[in-house]
Structure 1
Amino acid sequence: MLVHHLIDPTRLAVEIGYMIIVVSLCFMIFFKTGEIYDLTKHKGIKYFRITFLFFGLAYIFRFLSILFILINITFDIYLSINVFKIFSAFFGGYFSTMAILSLTYSTIWKKLQIKHPLLLFNAIAVLISCIAVISMSPSPLILLHAVLLSFTIIMATHSYSKSRKISPLFILYILFLLFWIVNLFILGPRRFLPIEIQIAFQIVSIAVIGIIYHKVTKWTK
């Protein structure tokens, strides 16, 4: 096995650190909002909280995908790496799609009653993930997420536009949507972006999800 390039230790360290922070915050938000859901049984909160569970899982697989790409450009083991790359890309796409569908439904569940929403979301997520894997490009996934994101923004704004008081949940929606927008840039084609710009996006992303965690913590007190 021949070594062609060395894995960039700086980029790998940044990706590992970013993944650990984001995944940790996502899971902490998931467990924190569980306290609120147990008290209120609010359906919107239920789907809002599992958004973070799915997003945390998506980031784990996203990191694996990046790791496999780095290994792929370093070692001559293309077949096995491509298999793992497809595996991580599928599940990364699946969990991220489940996350955004859960977030969307948390804003429209009063207007759109679905008997088995998670079953429907699973079918949609599998379909979108298959499209992403077949195309061997993140572009379809990013495009579909952007469409869902736009729809969620419209629905969230419409749902709370008639309210005189901005609810804490609406603030969390806006913050998470900002977090997602930043991550669309992070997930996009990054070969044209200097590592400094990538790190800047990641810092903004961490700051936003950190604020969400802070808001949730205050909300649960």
Structure 2
Amino acid sequence: MKRPKRAKPMSLEQLEVWFDKAEPEPPCNGVSMLNGFLTGLAVGPVFLLPNDWMFHVIGEHEKRAFIGTRTQAVIDTIVDHYNLVAHQLTTPGRYAPVLMRTDEDDVFADHWADGFLGAITLNPQEWEPLLAEKQTGEPLMSLLIQSTRPELAEMISMAFPKPSPDLLRDAWRAIPFAVEQIYAHCKPMRYSPAAPANDP
């Protein structure tokens, strides 16, 4: 009996189609949200393995991931994209978020920001100190202000009582710089074996 061959990873376009058609609907609603989520994982204060977070991306589909199946290809594609994001962050100026664009070239970062927030909610106690520090708090708020999650409304209103339409419309431009600031601050926490955030 032949062993099943591992399915080839998908393109991001194919992965977007999978998110659109998957039943039951996965927690992540598309590639832009996925990119925000993986970016939050890659820059944050805690290093997590795919087994720790994959369910938060594809939900119950994780149970169907057998070698050779389409679901396994989905997981491989997601892990490959995480590795790409992590690699981009090692070189300043290289990180580029995956954002939604209209045919008129309008840019929307709300799904990306929702994904980034999703990564924060996995370890909120470790992220909380970052919000209190100016070096990381301001970059974080510049990202989270673009989220659609209602639980952020009070937090954002305290930092930005009346954000102007121009601020909201162009906030996506600050994403790469803000992400790199958070990454630089958290890098020693992520890779130091003695760091409390990395205790088993």
TM-score when normalising by structure 1: 0.29
Between structure 1 and structure 2, the one with the greater Rg is 1
TM-score when normalising by structure 2: 0.31
Higher RCO (CA 8 Å, separation ≥ 6 residues): 2
Structure having the higher helix fraction is 1
